[in-house]
Amino acid sequence: MQIDLIIAQAVSRAVKELYGVDTPAEKIVPQATRKEFEGNLTVVTFPWVKAARKSPEQTGTEIGEWLVKNEPAVSRFNVIKGFLNLVIEPTYWCEVLRHIAGTTDYGTVAPTDRSPLVMVEYSSPNTNKPLHLGHLRNILLGHSLSQILAACGNRVVKTNIVNDRGIHICKSMLAWQKWGEGATPESTGKKGDHLIGDFYVLFDKHYKAELAQLKTQGMSDEEAEKASTLMAEAREMLRRWEQGDEQVRSLWRMMNEWVYAGFDATYERMGVGFDKIYYESQTYLEGKEKVLEGLEKGVMYRREDGSVWADLTADGLDHKLLLRSDGTSVYMTQDIGTARLRYQDYPIDKMIYVVGNEQNYHFQVLSLLLDKLGFSWGKGLVHFSYGMVELPNGKMKSREGTVVDADDLMEAMVSDARQVSDELGKLDGLPEAEAANVAETVGLGALKYFLLKVDPRKNMTFNPEESIDFNGNTGPFIQYTYARIRSVLRKAAEAGFQIGEYAAAVPCEREITLIQRLADYPSVVQEAGRSYSPALIANYAYDLVKEYNQFYHDCSILGETDPAKRSLRLALSETTANTVKSALNLLGIGVVERM
């Protein structure tokens, strides 16, 4: 049993006996004692002051005395104002460690058939360009959040909505028709998503040139845009697509298949995937049907020009367009259609959209509309709103081709990891295949950790040089500590040292601190799930390896002659390694056994 739960239950019994107050143990949350005070766990006594009819200090003293007398795990206590600081009996920590080490999948909760079904949507790419740095933060947050929610006992469905239709897709298609000369991924040696992205940039280049030419004839910006023949051709292609023109549809299918193959390769290298992928081309008509159904029920209304709207003024918002006067849909309509299909496919209890904070208003509206249209989870949908990610030299622009491509960035990270690892001697003696695997794992781990360790709600700047550092709050530092522990355990096995009985060992302060940090893991996982914050897991992993490195520095492991103490330290090392591996797995980060 976890030490914080034991203390919570003991305090619950104490206040019942002392003051006649029924306080459920789950309402009592012991916290780690602040470093400047003596103690391991602290309980706030203010909730029982009124019942005790005594000061917070006197109340804390009475509870502390009861615990010392009745709970074997409590050695002594002190009270600072209304805070009861408890010192746990040193030998008891061995029992805590034994519980942790003996718990399969420690820190996580296995889902059951009755567990809530949570759907998480992330990635949501457009098929006119490859994935870029902004997508990386989205995908890594979505994947990690899915892992964390599953570890909290939820059934999780990972889903993706691909934006595979619209004017932006037609721009790439038109550019390929005009200037592609039959280029294919095979003929060019390019990934399909990169090839199509090149044509999207090429369209923008020709479009800007056309606008500049028209403006030399005295046209204003608006007049030039209306007079553009290139944009008119793109709109005509979109019209033909919507009418089901087979020539346009055939080209669209071919180019999209190139993009999907490229996306799949990127996802595979990132180590992410999806249980179900939806396509906008399949959902937008569903949305129109659902909106018209809402119109019949009086949830929506039609204006004189034929457009369909929702009046959300009673909810503190405005009027929202759902179908244009020509009957075409908007993004909101498409999201409603996607929601309808998902609800048909899965009995969703909660829907989480991983989308940047520039879409906050969109999801506020979507939540209200889904609720009005009868989706049981609509009002409680979660918009996992995250901040933008930039590079030190500024923002990225897709149309101008200045985005940081995800494939190029991952390749650069792996290359940098190989160079830094070679320079530091981390790969000395490793076969080439293993050295390459270490570089791949460390490079991608550095990228993922750097993007995930920041509070997701904040904007951030990604600095590749800072991310690949074997010291400090980085992925490589955590991965290297894991490899160090595995090395210690291998050397112990070679020396014939096994993890034997350690109940007789009296842990020192450094060992107790590390055990307590390990004991925190389940509550950190649960809080990360409640607050939708992979950053909590990332920073826990960093704090844990910092504590281990202090322990490693202060406490001899293989040189310890007392068998019980040596077994305790080996058990601590093995349990720390397992917990680090578990935490990194929740972030989608791998480990290496040697470095």
Domains, the chain, ordered by start: 3-88 (3.30.1360.70), 165-274 (no CATH), 279-386 (no CATH), 407-586 (1.10.730.10)
432: CB partners within 8 A, 6+ apart: none
Residue 123 pLDDT class (50, 70, 90 cuts) = very high
Across 151-172, average pLDDT: 95
| Strand pairing category for 74-80 and 83-88 | antiparallel
Mean pLDDT of the chain: 93
pLDDT at 393: 64
Three-state DSSP class for 574? helix
297 φ, ψ to 5°?
Answer: -85, -5
Residue 539 pLDDT class (50, 70, 90 cuts) = very high
**Nearest residue to 7 via CA among 66, 107, 74, 60:** 74
Residue 391 pLDDT class (50, 70, 90 cuts) = confident
Buried b (16+ CB within 10 A) or exposed e, 379-392: eebbbbbbbbbbee
Q: Rg of the chain over CA atoms, in angstroms?
A: 29
Distance (Å, whole) CA 134 – CA 140: 10
Question: Which tokens hold the place of 357?
Answer: 């904070």
| Strand pairing category for 308-311 and 319-323 | antiparallel
Three-state DSSP class for 276? strand
Question: Which tokens hold the place of 548?
Answer: 């281990």
pLDDT tops 50 at residue 581: yes
Element housing 170 (H / E): helix 167-179
- The residue with tokens 């009418």 is 243
pLDDT tops 80 at residue 70: yes
pLDDT tops 80 at residue 570: yes
Across 562-581, average pLDDT: 97
Query: Max alpha carbon distance in the chain (Å)?
Result: 94
Distance (Å, whole) CA 483 – CA 290: 54
pLDDT at 195: 96
Position with higher pLDDT, 32 vs 531: 531
| Polymer length in residues for the chain | 595
User: What does the CA dihedral 237, 241, 244, 249 come to, rounded to 10 degrees?
Assistant: 100
pLDDT at 396: 40
Q: Which residue type, as a one-letter code, is found at position 388?
A: M
CA angle 430, 469, 271 (to 5 degrees): 70
Is there a contact between 57 and 46 (Cβ–Cβ < 8 Å)?
no
pLDDT tops 70 at residue 1: no
pLDDT tops 90 at residue 591: yes
Q: What percent of the chain lies above the pLDDT cut of 70?
A: 98
Is there a contact between 73 and 89 (Cβ–Cβ < 8 Å)?
yes
Distance (Å, whole) CA 99 – CA 94: 9
Q: What percent of the chain lies above the pLDDT cut of 90?
A: 85
Residue 402 pLDDT class (50, 70, 90 cuts) = low
pLDDT tops 90 at residue 537: yes
pLDDT at 401: 45
pLDDT at 329: 80
Position with higher pLDDT, 392 vs 233: 233
pLDDT tops 50 at residue 21: yes
CA distances from 580 to 13, 18, 479, 501, 556 (A): 35, 41, 9, 24, 21
Across 125-142, average pLDDT: 93
